[in-house]
Amino acid sequence: MIRVLLTAATLVLGVVRTQAQLTLSWTNNLLTIAGSELPGNKLEVWYLEAFCRRGSTKRDWRETTFLHKTELLASDSKLLKFRTRVQPNVEVLHEVYAGANEVSFEFNFTNHGTNRADIEWFQPACIRVERFTARQQSNYTDRAFIFTAKGLTRLADTRRTEEALYRGGQVYVPAGINLADVNPRPICGDRPVNGLIGCFSADDRYILATASDQTHELFEGVYVCLHSDPHVGGLAPSEKKTLRSKIYLLKNDVAELKRRYERDFGSKKP
């Protein structure tokens, strides 16, 4: 009987250990995801970064973004709760949850104003992957990827462009998104066919990837970072919208990554 109980306890403990791989903390707009299997034992994410108006592709970034301020409402090592106030009258209540090999985000927008809020898209998470890939700005694109009509495609192998209002980085825009309303960085000639953008670890043992349920753009940034930026589409007076995103941290198994993505977001368009 004792042996049975010990075996059951061991199994339960094994499940708990698996589900407790990742922990969370946040300070000064920097979200830290910690885990023993992460290079350097942590992943840093600038959270939240920006809320953006339409017409952003050829406009000064300061004129595109709304002023916003985020406060932490509650926290433990697995769950963080926030409120972000976006000028003039939009409130975003959001939660970050660390699960088994993934971190989940839920954003609940409410326009408390009497006028339409022109928040077309937003940048929730600037995921810093320099430590994960052991690469610099000049060469991390050969470790990073999106999915195109050709399948998994390294960013270094996409049809890259250079001309834009701001040089550096690369914007990957799915079908259906107005090219006038995206990041003012160079727009890639290849379109993503799903909402995933990711990279391989320096030792090729792990994949880091991110996705959202309403993808406005995927973005290779200028800080050795990756973005999945969700589409909002504006908010009418009193309108509410809910959006979800995820960061996956998996063993290097592309088929499993695609399975997890289909499970979470397969019914949504990129």
- Contacts of residue 85, Cβ cutoff 8 Å, sequence gap at least 6: 68, 69, 91, 92
Per-residue model confidence as pLDDT tens digits over 30-54: 999 999 888 889 999 999 999 999 9
Q: pLDDT band at residue 205, thresholds of 50, 70 and 90?
A: very high
The pLDDT of 179-196, averaged and rounded, is 98
pLDDT recorded at residue 178: 98
Instruction: Read off the amino acid at residue 154.
Output: R
> Residue 161 pLDDT > 80, yes or no?
yes
Three-state SS string over the chain comes to CHHHHHHHHHHHHHHHHHHCCCEEEEECCEEEEECCCCHHHEEEEEEEEEEECCCCCCCCHHHHECCEEEEEEEECCCEEEEEEEECCCEEEEEEEEECCCEEEEEEEEEECCCCCECCCEEEEEEEECHHHHCCCCCCHHHCEEEEECCEEEEHHHCCCCCCCCCCCCEEECCCCCCHHHCCCCCECCCCCCCCCEEEECCCCCEEEEEEECCEEEEEECCCCEEEEEEECCCECCCCEEEEEEEEEEEECCHHHHHHHHHHHHCCCCC
> Residue 2 pLDDT > 60, yes or no?
no
Per-residue model confidence as pLDDT tens digits over 102-135: 999 999 999 999 999 999 999 999 999 999 999 9
pLDDT recorded at residue 268: 64
> Residue 14 pLDDT > 70, yes or no?
no
> Residue 3 pLDDT > 70, yes or no?
no
Domain range list for the chain: 22-265
Q: For all residues of the chain together, what is the average pLDDT?
A: 92
Which of 246, 248, 247, 252 shows the shortest CA–CA distance to 206? Answer: 252
Q: pLDDT band at residue 269, thresholds of 50, 70 and 90?
A: low
pLDDT recorded at residue 270: 64
- Contacts of residue 217, Cβ cutoff 8 Å, sequence gap at least 6: 121, 171, 172, 173, 174, 177, 182, 183, 227, 229
pLDDT recorded at residue 40: 82
The pLDDT of 212-238, averaged and rounded, is 97
The CATH code of domain 22-265 reads 2.70.98
Which pTM value belongs to this model? 0.91
Q: pLDDT band at residue 20, thresholds of 50, 70 and 90?
A: very low
Per-residue model confidence as pLDDT tens digits over 69-103: 999 999 999 999 999 999 999 999 999 999 989 99
pLDDT recorded at residue 100: 86
Q: pLDDT band at residue 177, thresholds of 50, 70 and 90?
A: very high
> Residue 214 pLDDT > 90, yes or no?
yes
CA distances to 38, 49, 59, 107, 161 from 94, rounded to whole Å, are 25, 14, 28, 4, 35
pLDDT recorded at residue 9: 40
Beta bridge mates, 144: 199
